[in-house]
Amino acid sequence: MMGKARRIGALAGIGLVIAVLLLSHRIGRADPTGDYRPDLPPDALATGCFPLPGGVTLDFGYQIRRDGDVEVDGELRRRLFGQYDEIDESEALEVIVADFVEAGFVASRRPAPYDAVLRKPGAGRADVVRVSVEQLSGIEEDTLVRGTFELDLPVAKASPDAPAVCSDPRATKRWDDEE
């Protein structure tokens, strides 16, 4: 009697394992979409949330890493940190300056300690734009990201009717821990 019960139990166990194996590929799995890349947040400067002064757009490949307002010597300033792609340090600086000049800014002849200082004629001291650019060290010739840039800018506020994306730190690069 005991032997027959064991055989029935073993057969039932084997049947259960076979049923699970046959059905497991259909139960509890997501439908394959063929799209395995996550959605990327929009370009932090293209959203219109916190534009550059004068409507400036950067005419080279870049990624914005951080953007936020900080107090510097009692003055509130915007600091925007980014990385530039596929160009060298001098070209990145040249393009940034040219983009601001095209928007009506004038470059200072003595920018030290920055790489460039720009302002619109007649604008106040708070409206100045300061630029620092630095090439990454030890990069290979085929490295995409070639260096970093920092823009010290007047503070930009999002408009009250700004799109919903403006409240997403992944899109604006304005992280709460910077304030």
Contact criterion met (CB below 8 Å) for 172 and 164: no
pLDDT single digits (tens) 157-166: 887 778 888 9
Choose between 23 and 161: higher pLDDT.
161
Residue 28 within any structural domain of the chain = no
The pTM for the full model equals 0.76
Which of 107-111, 145-149, 155-159 is modeled with the greatest confidence? 145-149
Residue 15 within any structural domain of the chain = no
Q: In what order do the strands lie in the sheet with 116-119?
A: 62-72, 75-85, 145-153, 129-135, 116-119, 106-107
Residue 41 within any structural domain of the chain = no
Phi, psi of 89, rounded to the nearest 5 degrees: -60, -50
Residue 73 within any structural domain of the chain = yes
72, two tokens: 């510097």
Across the range 27-34, mean pLDDT stands at 69
Find the DSSP H helices in 24-168. 89-102
Which percentage of the chain shows pLDDT scores above 90?
58
Instruction: Output the pLDDT for position 126.
Output: 83
Q: How confident is the model at residue 38 (pLDDT cuts 50, 70, 90)?
A: confident
Q: How many domains does the chain have?
A: 1
Mean pLDDT score of the chain, rounded to an integer? 88
Among 26-30, 82-86, 109-113, 118-122, whose mean pLDDT is lowest?
26-30
Return the percent helix, strand and coil in the chain, to nearest 5: 30, 25, 45
Which percentage of the chain shows pLDDT scores above 70?
93
Domain that holds residue 143: 53-178
Residue 108 within any structural domain of the chain = yes
Instruction: Output the pLDDT for position 15.
Output: 82
Indicate the SS3 state at residue 22: helix
Across the range 45-50, mean pLDDT stands at 90
Q: Is the pLDDT of residue 179 over 50?
A: no
Across the range 118-129, mean pLDDT stands at 91
Residue 47 within any structural domain of the chain = no
Q: Is the pLDDT of residue 143 over 60?
A: yes
